[in-house]
Amino acid sequence: MSETRAERRRRTEERILGAARALFAELGFERATIRAVAKAAGVDPALVMQYFGSKQELFQQAVRVTPAVRSEAGVDGLVEELLSTLSVKMGELPQGTLAMMRSMLTHPEAAASARFVLKAQIDRLEEALPAADARLRAALMTMVMLGVTIGHQLLELDELRSAPPEEIAAALRPALRALAEAEKPADEPADELITGQ
């Protein structure tokens, strides 16, 4: 059975997106060119523009990330769920994710994509945290994990690259639990001390 025109177009679009993800991940938005993407995909640069309209739109399509689904596991389960992603964050990330991370501080479109993904994670964490300042805590937990990922993947820090994910998880666990747990109200022992009771 021969391939339809729509199927050929989809296959070509996917080839272009794959090439774009690889180049944006390696070079970032500014240095990756339409011509280089076209060459890597084996198509004419005009076809890339015909399908995607602009480098900006190509980038937006290439870095689109679907937020992960949140579990209903309580505070401890939430911390363990975050820590369980370390093996992924320390391994080979999807090229769209790497492209977004590499470009998010220099390109507004990448920054917007990163904010969208991070906001979705913060929303999920906030719902599961019992503290009054749950949103702040959720943001801090998210940034801790992002910082570890950037340190390992982009900065290639020896201290992170040489440590197995389980060791990093063990070191992070107390800090993430402290952020996740609501502080208990003080029992007001100070009044007793002042009155001598």
Q: Compute the half-sphere exposure of residue 187: CA atoms within 13 Å on the CB side of its CA.
A: 3
Q: What is the pLDDT of residue 90?
A: 73
* Residues 104, 24: Cα–Cα separation, whole Å: 11
Q: What is the pLDDT of residue 72?
A: 58
Say if residue 65's pLDDT is above 60. Answer: no
Q: Compute the half-sphere exposure of residue 103: CA atoms within 13 Å on the CB side of its CA.
A: 31
Yes or no: domain 74-180 corresponds to CATH 1.10.357: yes
What's the whole-number mean pLDDT along residues 159-177? 92
Domain with CATH 1.10.357 in the chain: 74-180
pLDDT tens by residue, 74-117:
778 888 888 887 776 777 777 778 888 888 888 887 888 788 88
* Residues 184, 75: Cα–Cα separation, whole Å: 15
* Residues 176, 82 contacting (CB under 8 angstroms): yes
**CA angle at residue 191 from 189 to 192, to 5 degrees?**
65
DSSP letters spanning 147-189: HHHHHHHTS--HHHHSS-HHHHHHHHHHHHHHHHSPPPPP--H
State the pLDDT confidence band at 185, using cuts at 50, 70 and 90.
very low
pLDDT tens by residue, 111-154:
887 888 888 889 988 988 888 999 999 999 999 999 998 999 88
Q: How many residues does the chain have?
A: 197
Q: What is the pLDDT of residue 162?
A: 92
* Residues 16, 37 contacting (CB under 8 angstroms): yes
Instruction: List all residues 6 or more positions away from 17 whose beta carbon is below 8 Å from its beta carbon.
Output: 58, 61, 62
13: buried, middle or exposed (CB in 10 Å: 19+, 13-18, 0-12)? Answer: middle
Q: What is the pLDDT of residue 99?
A: 81
Q: What is the pLDDT of residue 190?
A: 42
> pTM for this one?
0.66
Q: Hey, what CATH topology would domain 5-62 get?
A: Arc Repressor Mutant, subunit A (1.10.10)
pLDDT tens by residue, 29-63:
888 899 999 999 999 999 999 998 888 888 878 77
